Amino acid sequence: MALTIYNTIARRKEAFAPLDEKRVRMYVCGPTVYDLAHIGNARPVVVFDVLFRLLRRLYGEQHVVYVRNITDIDDKIMAKAAASGEPIDSITRRTEDAFHADMGALGALRPTHEPRATETVPEMVAIIEELIRRGHAYEAEKHVLFNVPSMPNYGRLSGRNRDEMVAGARVDLAPYKRDPADFTLWKPSVADQPGWDSPWGRGRPGWHIECSAMSEKFLGFPFDLHGGGLDLIFPHHENEIAQSCCAHGADTFARYWMHNGYLVVNGEKMSKSLGNFFTVRELLEKGWPGEVIRLVLIGTHYRQPLDFTEDAMKQARTRLDRWYRACAHIAAVADAVPGDTGGDAEFEAALLDDLNTPLALSVLDRQATRVLNAMPVEIAPLASSFRANAGKLALLAQDPARWFQGTAPAEDVAEIEGLIAQRNAARKSRQFAEADRLRDLLKSKGVELEDGAGGTTWKRV
C-alpha cells in the first residue's frame, strides 16, 4: 500500500511518489531561536517526525533526507539581545540547544541536516542576484524587494486574491516599494546590527529567502515535500515558492505541501497575556513525561485543530498507563517474544492514509486489550506486533517499571527506595506496625507498593 497525503497545493489527497526513491527529500520550517519552544512549536516537530519515521520505513533509513532550518538571524532575536544585554550568538546557541533537548524529550529524531541561516548567507545572496537578473526583484534604498506582479501565478498555494494578499501580509507601504505586495529579500543593517557584505551594501536577509536557500543547498531544486504549520502558508510559503520558482524559471519548487493545523489551549488562542502559554520545558519540569506530550500531539489528526488541555494530558497519561500495563504483563508472562514482526497491517495502513494517527492509536488500544486478556501461551505474537506498532510512533520505549515510577527527580527516588529498604528491614524483624507506618508514609507521598515473589516494586499513583 502506498503513502497518500493531503497536498495543500493540489487541495486533495494524492499518492506520494518521490522524484528519486533513493533520495526522498523533505523540508520543514524550523524555529527562530530567541525563546523556548512552546507547545504550538512542538506540534509540527512531532507530526513531521511521524512522517520522517514512516518515510524511512518505506524507502530505507539511508534514502530519506530531512532538512529543518534554524533561523538565527531575525529582528526578534536582535530585539531580545538589545533588551537583555546578552550577545546574539549566546541567545541563539543557548536557545538552539534547549530546542534540541526539549524536542528530544518528545521523542523527535534530529533531521538529517539542520542548517543555520547565518551559515547560508552567500547562497541567499546568489538567489537574490539571480532574481534581479531575471527581472523578479529590484534594489531600492539599500533594500532588495521581490516584485510580486512579475510572477503571474503568485498565490497558488494559499489561493488568495490580491487584496487579501496585501491585507494578509500587513504590508508597510514603504515609499520605495513598486507594489504594495512586494516583499523584502534583503535589508540594510546599521553599524550595531548584524550584517553581511553584499552587492547592495552591508545588510541581512529577509526571513522567506532563508528557506529558499537552505532547502536548495541541501535538497536541490525541485524536491519532494515541504511541511510546516498552517499559519506559514501565507505569506511565508507563498513567498518561498515565488523566490525559488522565479530564480529557476520553473513552475514547481516542492511537489507536495503538508500543513499541520492550529493548536489552541482550552479552546483559546495561546498567548502570554491570557496566561495559557506553555513552553515544552515548563510542562516537562512540572513532571509531565515527554511521551504524554507526544501522545497528545498525535492524538488528533495533524490537519485538525488541536485543543491542548490539562484534561487531554491526563487522558493521554491514563492511556499510556494502560499500554505500559500491557508491556508489564508481557514481561511477566511471556518467556520469549519474537523479534519485530513488522507490526500490524491495519496500523500501517492508518499511517499511510495521510498520517491517520488517531486511527493507528486506536489499533494500539485494541492490541493492549488483547494482550491484557491473553493467556500466557498466546501472548508472544500479540506482544511482538503491539510493540512494533508502538515503536513506529516512538512510544512505549521505557521500561514499564520506570514508567510507573514517573519522572521523579533522582533524589526523590533515592528517598523512596530508602524508605522501602527500612520497611523491608522492619518486616524481616517482624516489626509489622513500623512496616505499616512506612507503607502509609509512602502512600502519603503518592507511592504505592506491591510485594511480590521477586521483592517489592513501587509506582506512583
Is 258 an interacting residue with respect to Zn ion (CB under 5 A)? no
Q: In the β-sheet with 268-269, what is the strand arrangement from edge to edge?
A: 268-269, 263-265, 306-308
Amino acid found at 399: D
Q: Do residues 137 and 206 touch, judged by C-beta distance below 8 A?
A: no
Give the nearer residue to Zn ion in terms of CB position, either 76 or 314.
Answer: 76
**CB pairs under 8 A, 24+ apart, for 424-430?**
424/456
Alpha-carbon Rg of the chain, whole angstroms?
26
- Pairing status of strand 24-28 against strand 223-229: parallel
Q: Least Å distance between CB 276 and Zn ion? A: 26
CB 417 to Zn ion: min, Å: 48
- Residue 29 or 395: the one with the smaller Cβ distance to Zn ion is 29
Interaxial angle between packed helices 357-373 and 290-299, expressed in degrees from 0 to 180 and rounded to the nearest 10: 120
Minimum gap (Å) between residue 219 Cβ and Zn ion: 13
> Closest distance between Zn ion and the C-beta of residue 217, in Å?
13
Question: Which of positions 18-77 make contact with Zn ion (CB under 5 A)?
Answer: 29
- Alpha-carbon distance of 285 to 42, in angstroms, equals 16
- In the bound state with Zn ion, the residue whose beta carbon lies nearer, of 142 and 156, is 156
User: Which one-letter DSSP state was computed for residue 71?
Assistant: B
Considering only residues 196 to 225 of the shown chain, the ones binding Zn ion according to CB under 5 A are 211
Please report how close the Cβ of residue 214 comes to Zn ion at its closest, in angstroms: 8
- Minimum Å gap between C-beta 7 and Zn ion is 17
Q: How many residues bind Zn ion (CB under 5 A)?
A: 2
| Backbone angle region of 170, left / alpha / beta, with phi > 0 → left and psi within -120 to 50 → alpha | left
Output 75 or 440, the one with its CB closest to Zn ion: 75
Block residue for cell numbers 522501602: 420
- What lies within 8 Å, CB to CB, of 3 at 6+ separation is 15, 16, 54, 55, 58, 352
Closest to Zn ion by CB, 69 or 384: 69
Q: Between residues 25 and 392, which has the closer beta carbon with respect to Zn ion? A: 25
Q: Residue 280 is placed in which grid cell?
A: 515544552
Residue count of the chain: 461
Q: Is the distance from CB of 350 to CB of 356 less than 8 angstroms? A: yes
Could you give the string, one character per residue 163-202, with x where binding to Zn ion holds by CB under 5 A and - elsewhere? ----------------------------------------
Q: Which lies closer to Zn ion via its Cβ, residue 27 or residue 403?
A: 27
**Binding region for Zn ion (CB under 5 A):** 29, 211
